[in-house]
């Protein structure tokens, strides 16, 4: 039985706890959270104990940690967990500062532990099926990628202040998708953005609407468009043009009901937000993590991927702020 | 130049006039209608003359007639046109009485003239593409046919009184589709119906909603469902299940616009009614008629098809009225 | 803690065991199966014990039974469970003989126990959303129902021999959908069928392709078409025409990937068969059963529904065999 | 009767001739082409005469000209037609050199004649319906535009050499769409491109794959992606994100047939290329031109629009060549 310590008993922590509990041969032993009450509720639900980070990391029975606490704790927990020899699953981002993220990657490498970063989109059934078909050559060589990534609504301004900005907070997922789908990396980045949904976003020095262009080392082209607000819900699509065709990943809908009235023929809105859309992805990434640990195979989303996505987010932030093309 | 006499200057007559005018090597010479003013307007538009039926049929320059006048005139005009040696295009139905329809078919055969019945649906781009793919064996042997055929709204009761009833007036098209798509014929018919949209329909001894089952001679199965009222417009779909797959013919929409709002993701309603949906079909059937005349090849929808569809409509009417399965 | 005895450790039994295990406040105590090895594996997985039916039903700690054993055991187990005062969840059908099914219903009523029949389709997210929207009046009064229900392939002939025939085995679900969606009942049934996929089906006196027409007491019309074989997979659709529009329930697909090549624009096949398509439905029906027990509210699919669906299946079988319309 | 001189008897000239012939109150009087045989065939078909440009422009009976000859003749013919007081319909582009295009615009203004540029996409039923719905406020204020514009295959290298480059030849339409849909103009342009489909494209100093980002004066954002090759055909889509929703314009398909086999569920490819996709648009733009002349109302796509789209194409070309953001 592999025993697990979970850091974070909030929204994403609860999802990870449920998925950890579902893995055969895996047990949740500790829940760690500054909010003792939340930790207690979650621990009780899964037959685990509340503990401090020190206790959890010092327990030699703990083989793996799952880090779902706030972003500013990630780097410290990764470093300490690596030092304690634990296998690590950590929510994105590694850190908002690329230097600290690189330090974490170095610490992981020194310790020789597994460290997986939670880019759950790579495990989404639609996205991963698309990638598998791309890899079989079904549409030939990929040439162009267009990513649409829109949230149903902006988070509170308080969150935005600590978010690192839209490129690090929101587009970091899209940068990872870009690298994964094209199996290539960025040679240059151009980004621009606007405040179109709420002036409050601008008041904290951020934007809510962005467009990004990436050229890859092999000359392929990618465009990303994002918005903090899509009135119709969570919009998560991308398409790849290849030399012999196109693959498109569409939104998921709650049901397959169509209604035709005197006004229109209509379908459900997309699944509302990431908890709904990526429910399966969260389960599949956790299964992948423990499968990789069990079999000794590499994880699909390494800490290097986490660092690289952050570097692209930094480059995009620079491009937007300085109004210039950033070469990488 | 092939000269043509057109009977009927109403809605469908005007469509046929326009399509006749577009055929190369074909000219509209006469327009015949009891409504002299309507005939005059239509004749003027196409550089034709208003004439009586006698004059038009007596003119040896006239090689073909197009009959788009009221149903009760069809049989007489077919018979006289055949006797005058004219090639004949006639709107469905041949007649509401199957005996008279058979007499017309006999008159056509005796005269040795071409006679095409206007089952325009066989020329609809979607329906004819489906049929062509079925004929290539793309889905193997056809086993089952499901036809959905709904009008946007019921015609006036005055029309219903003279219509011959819903099976002869509306389903005659669906019976023709059934025979054409399955390339088979009915061994038995079961039909039932209800008055669900407007009690006025019942007051003239008709129904507005029907379901029909046909077994073919080879044991294939077909279902037809119809309604005089679909709030969302003209609904014209069918699907064929075959041994290796399924072919479906969907509705046509005016545009490919999709709108996503906080309420729904919606598309256009289907094209509103037969004039919109079958605009291309009306043009293609007329081109087919004159092509067949020019090349001496058979027409796709013969008077025998017209008679047979009427026989099925009669059988369905009997099944509904007498509440029994009718063997054919 | 509500303790449960499960009868049947086969395919459907394993699904129910997993869903029982997921209910809060519910524990699987016994697994009963003539195949001791299968029972042992399933019991071990869920921390339950293997037991005989006698033992399980005699244990006063057992509050509910879940019957997923072979059809010929249902009636006996329902009767004995009812006598033992257990709440009952039983897979469809109650029995293949309507008289025995009615006896079961009487036994349940005498015992005053809850008895839910596993018409899982009513719990499918798409179907239940459609029903909820219909009930809000979104499309006005329902007038017509068209059900398409096709399996990916026929079961072995050995199964067919014991199945009660296609109307009892396969269409029983569609008859339940019909009653549930229209909130009405059949006044007459007409059914016919053919052997189109495999002569072996005919050799055991059954058919593999059927079409059924139902008239309801209020004059509404319904058509069902079924086949034991759809090359493209499990086809589970229906549509309701109402006075103000139409509601359609479409198939579920594994992913939302679209591929465009030089040949076509294509999507995934439907989810392959009932275990995939109704995975959510099986979970939701079990949650509903235990919620109803906990709250004392009625179950959505009662034993009376099971008896009535069987009566319609019998009527359809008679209609097909005797080639006549059956009045109810 | 308004008499018209047509310049150009090639592919697009023949389409325009047919559409001119269909306008009530309009007659095609002259066809002008350096290829006398082509001119003769087209003139004969429509009852017109072959003439030189001089003759056609000198004839006071000619009220309007339609210019569909090669790009290098546009400026000269516009200038001379304006000087002769003719109303002008001219295919895009006005000229490949923006200075000459501006001179044409000045000549048109001095002469006070109507001059419409053939940006037919504005007349496409799907695109114009989308624009109309956007204008009603159905999705609130537009914020972001994403345009996908791909040809089925690259033209011959000989054509590419004289084309002015992909931004002027192909994207000029997309720049016009951008201005029209957002009712706004570009403040900055960033473009990059690659040679991904055929090295021959690179050998003439052009690219075949491009991505363009535009910021508007009001801070809105637009992305355009284009390719000279989409294996699946002509891909002409765009979508507008607004404050209250999204409008999408999809491809048109030849038929509404869906086929489901053991492999996939598939639909038709998009209509193959611009002659098929924009057939209705070509007819509607010509009707609009003559309607505007008859009623004295402004044309929807003026020569100023033609000049402005060319300016954006020039800016994009500069951005791509000089690897910099171009402010406008």
As a whole number, mean pLDDT of residues C286-308 equals 98
Q: How confident is the model at residue B102 (pLDDT cuts 50, 70, 90)?
A: very high
Three-class DSSP category at B37:
helix
Residues of A in contact with D141 (CB under 8 A): 196
Residues contacting residue B238 through CB under 8 Å, at least 6 positions apart: B127, B130, B145, B146, B147, B148, B177, B181, B248, B249
Q: How far does C266 lie from chain D, in Å, by closest CA?
A: 4
pLDDT of residue C265: 98
Strand partners, A27: A3
**CB nearest to A209's CB, from D139, D143, D225:** D143
pLDDT of residue B189: 98
Residues contacting residue A3 through CB under 8 Å, at least 6 positions apart: A27, A28, A29, A59, A61, A62, A63, A64
Are the Cβ atoms of A258 and C245 closer than 8 angstroms?
no
Are the Cβ atoms of B232 and A268 closer than 8 angstroms?
no
Q: How confident is the model at residue C53 (pLDDT cuts 50, 70, 90)?
A: very high
Start-to-end Cα distance in chain D = 45
Percent of chain B residues past pLDDT 90, beyond the cut: 99
Rounded CA separation A95/B121 (Å): 64
Strand (E) positions, chain D?
2-7, 26-32, 49-50, 62-67, 87-91, 115-118, 142-150, 186-194, 209-216, 221-227, 235-242, 245-249, 257-261, 265-267, 326-327
As a whole number, mean pLDDT of residues C25-35 equals 97
Rounded CA separation A219/B144 (Å): 52
Residues contacting residue A236 through CB under 8 Å, at least 6 positions apart: A121, A148, A149, A150, A249, A251, A270, A277
User: Which phi and psi angles does B269 have, rounded to 5°?
Assistant: -65, 160
Start-to-end Cα distance in chain C = 45
Q: Which two tokens stand for residue D125?
A: 């039923």
Give, for D316, the enclosing helix (H) or strand (E).
Answer: helix D303-322
Q: Cα-atom radius of gyration of chain D, to the nearest Å?
A: 20
Q: How confident is the model at residue B124 (pLDDT cuts 50, 70, 90)?
A: very high
pLDDT of residue B235: 98
pLDDT of residue D48: 97
Residues of D in contact with B249 (CB under 8 A): 255-257
Per the document, the length of chain B is: 328
pLDDT of residue B193: 98
Q: How confident is the model at residue B303 (pLDDT cuts 50, 70, 90)?
A: very high
Q: How far does D192 lie from chain B, in Å, by closest CA?
A: 29
Q: Which two tokens stand for residue A157?
A: 């301004």
CA atoms within 13 A on the CB side of D242: 24
The per-residue DSSP string of D23-45 comes to: STTEEEEEEE-SSHHHHHHHHHH
ipTM of the prediction? 0.95
Rounded CA separation A226/A174 (Å): 9
pLDDT of residue A328: 94
Residues contacting residue D270 through CB under 8 Å, at least 6 positions apart: C265, D232, D233, D234, D235, D236, D251, D252, D253, D277
Q: Which CATH number fits domain A122-327: 3.30.360.10, 3.30.70.920, 2.30.110.10, 2.60.120.10?
A: 3.30.360.10
pLDDT of residue B84: 98
Rounded CA separation C116/C94 (Å): 10
Q: How far apart, in Å, are the Cα atoms of D243 and each of A194, D134, D185, D214, D246?
A: 13, 11, 19, 19, 8
pLDDT of residue B288: 98
Q: Which two tokens stand for residue C12?
A: 């459907």
Q: Which two tokens stand for residue C277?
A: 């398509």
In this structure, which topology does domain C122-281+300-327 adopt according to CATH?
Dihydrodipicolinate Reductase; domain 2 (3.30.360)
The number of angstroms, rounded, from the C-alpha of B265 to the middle of its chain's C-alpha atoms is 34
Rounded CA separation B132/B137 (Å): 9
Give pLDDT tens digits for B155-174: 999 999 999 999 999 999 99
What are the structural domain ranges in chain A? Answer: 2-113, 122-327
The number of angstroms, rounded, from the C-alpha of A81 to the middle of its chain's C-alpha atoms is 20
Q: Which two tokens stand for residue A129?
A: 């099926």
Q: Which two tokens stand for residue B107?
A: 């008159």
Are the Cβ atoms of B220 and C144 closer than 8 angstroms?
no
Each as own residue / partner, the long-range contacts of residues D247-250 (CB below 8 Å, 24 or more positions apart, any chain) are D247/B257, D247/B258, D247/B259, D247/B260, D247/D130, D247/D133, D247/D134, D247/D138, D247/D139, D248/B257, D248/B258, D248/B259, D248/B260, D248/D130, D249/B255, D249/B256, D249/B257, D249/D126, D249/D127, D249/D130, D250/B256, D250/B257, D250/B258, D250/D126
Q: How far does C258 lie from chain A, in Å, by closest CA?
A: 5
Q: Which two tokens stand for residue B90?
A: 């006639």
Rounded CA separation B108/B102 (Å): 10
Percent of chain A residues past pLDDT 70, beyond the cut: 100
Say yes or no: domain D122-278+303-327 is CATH 3.30.360.10. Answer: yes
Output b/e per residue, D236-271; b: 16+ Cβ within 10 A: bbbbbbbebbbbbbbbbbebbbbbbbeebbbbbbbb
Give, for B34, the enclosing helix (H) or strand (E).
Answer: none
Say yes or no: domain B122-277+303-327 is CATH 3.30.360.10. Answer: yes
pLDDT of residue D122: 98
Are the Cβ atoms of C257 and A246 closer than 8 angstroms?
no
Q: Which residue of C has its CA nearest to B232?
A: C245
Q: Which residue of B has its CA nearest to A260?
A: B232
Q: Which residue of C has its CA nearest to A45?
A: C24
Are the Cβ atoms of C192 and B211 closer than 8 angstroms?
no
Tell me the torsion sign for CA atoms A136, A137, A138, A144.
positive
Q: Could you tell me how many helices (H) and strands (E) chain D has, helices first?
A: 13, 15
> Do A165 and A191 touch, CB atoms closer than 8 A?
no
As a whole number, mean pLDDT of residues A184-213 equals 97
CA torsion, ordered C54, C55, C59, C62, to nearest 10 deg: -80
Residues of C in contact with A254 (CB under 8 A): 125, 129
Q: Does C255 touch chain D (CB under 8 A)?
A: no
> Do D142 and D296 touch, CB atoms closer than 8 A?
no
Strand partners, D44: none
> Do D197 and D154 touch, CB atoms closer than 8 A?
yes
> Do D185 and D308 touch, CB atoms closer than 8 A?
yes
Residues contacting residue B155 through CB under 8 Å, at least 6 positions apart: B163, B228
Assessment of whether the complete model's pTM goes beyond 0.90: yes
Q: Which residue of B has its CA nearest to D266?
A: B247
pLDDT (tens place) for every residue of chain D, 328 residues total: 999 999 999 999 999 999 999 999 999 999 999 999 999 999 999 999 999 999 999 999 999 999 999 999 999 999 999 999 999 999 999 999 999 999 999 999 999 999 999 999 999 999 999 999 999 999 999 999 999 999 999 999 999 999 999 999 999 999 999 999 999 999 999 999 999 999 999 999 999 999 999 999 999 999 999 999 999 999 999 999 999 999 999 999 999 999 999 999 999 999 999 999 999 999 999 999 999 999 999 999 999 999 999 999 999 999 999 999 999 9
**CB nearest to B213's CB, from C140, C188, C190:** C190
As a whole number, mean pLDDT of residues B299-306 equals 98
DSSP tag of D302: B
Rounded CA separation C85/C104 (Å): 14
Tell me the torsion sign for CA atoms A68, A72, A76, A82.
positive
pLDDT of residue D250: 98
Q: Which CATH number fits domain A2-113: 3.90.1420.10, 3.40.50.720, 3.30.70.1890, 3.30.70.20?
A: 3.40.50.720
Rounded CA separation D302/D290 (Å): 14
Q: How confident is the model at residue A302 (pLDDT cuts 50, 70, 90)?
A: very high
Rounded CA separation C163/C154 (Å): 12
Q: What is the 3-state secondary structure (H, E, C) of B157-204?
A: HHHHHCCCCHHHHCHHHHHHHHHHHHCCCEEEEEEEEECCCCHHHHHC
Q: Does A264 touch chain B (CB under 8 A)?
A: yes
As a whole number, mean pLDDT of residues A255-278 equals 97
**CB nearest to A255's CB, from C125, C245, C255:** C125
Rounded CA separation B289/D243 (Å): 53
Q: Does A250 touch chain D (CB under 8 A)?
A: no
Q: Does C248 touch chain A (CB under 8 A)?
A: yes
Rounded to 10°, the helix B303-322/B171-182 angle is: 120
pLDDT of residue D52: 97
As a whole number, mean pLDDT of residues B228-234 equals 98
Residues of B in contact with A263 (CB under 8 A): 266, 269
Q: Could you tell me how many helices (H) and strands (E) chain C has, helices first?
A: 13, 15
Helices (H), chain A: 11-22, 36-45, 53-58, 71-83, 98-111, 125-135, 157-161, 166-169, 171-182, 199-203, 274-277, 279-295, 303-322
Give, for D205, the enclosing helix (H) or strand (E).
Answer: none
Q: Does A326 touch chain D (CB under 8 A)?
A: no
Q: How far does A235 lie from chain D, in Å, by closest CA?
A: 11
Give pLDDT tens digits for C235-280: 999 999 999 999 999 999 999 999 999 999 999 999 999 999 999 9
């Amino acid at each position: 039985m592999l025993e697990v310590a979970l850091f974070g008993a909030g929204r994403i922590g609860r999802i990870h706890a449920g998925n950890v509990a579902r893995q055969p041969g895996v047990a949740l032993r500790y829940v760690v959270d500054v909010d003792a009450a939340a930790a207690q509720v979650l621990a009780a639900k899964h037959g685990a104990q509340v503990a401090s980070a020190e206790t959890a990391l010092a327990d030699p029975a703990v083989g793996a940690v799952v880090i779902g606490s706030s972003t500013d704790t990630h780097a410290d927990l990764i470093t300490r967990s690596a030092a304690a020899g634990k296998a690590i699953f950590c929510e994105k981002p590694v850190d908002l500062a690329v230097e600290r993220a690189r330090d974490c990657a170095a610490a992981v490498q020194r310790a020789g532990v597994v460290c997986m970063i939670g880019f759950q989109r790579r495990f989404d059934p639609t996205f991963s099926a698309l990638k598998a078909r791309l890899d079989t050559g079904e549409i030939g060589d990929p040439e162009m990628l267009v990513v649409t990534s829109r949230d149903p609504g902006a988070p509170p301004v308080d969150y935005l202040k600590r978010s690192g900005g839209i490129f690090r907070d929101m587009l970091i997922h899209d940068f990872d998708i870009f690298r994964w789908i094209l199996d290539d990396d960025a040679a240059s980045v151009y980004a621009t953005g606007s405040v179109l949904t709420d002036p409050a976003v601008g008041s904290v020095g951020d934007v809510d609407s962005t467009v990004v262009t990436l050229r890859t080392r092999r000359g392929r082209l990618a465009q990303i468009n994002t918005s903090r607000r899509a009135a119709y819900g969570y919009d998560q699509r991308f398409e790849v043009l290849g030399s012999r065709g196109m693959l498109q990943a569409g939104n998921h809908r709650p049901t397959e009901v169509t209604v035709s009235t005197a006004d229109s023929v209509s379908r459900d809105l997309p699944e509302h937000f990431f908890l709904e859309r990526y429910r399966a992805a969260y389960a599949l990434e956790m299964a992948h993590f423990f499968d990789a640990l069990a079999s000794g195979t590499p994880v699909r989303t390494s800490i290097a991927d986490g660092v690289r996505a952050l570097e692209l987010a930094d480059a995009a932030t620079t491009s937007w702020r300085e109004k210039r093309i950033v070469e990488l």
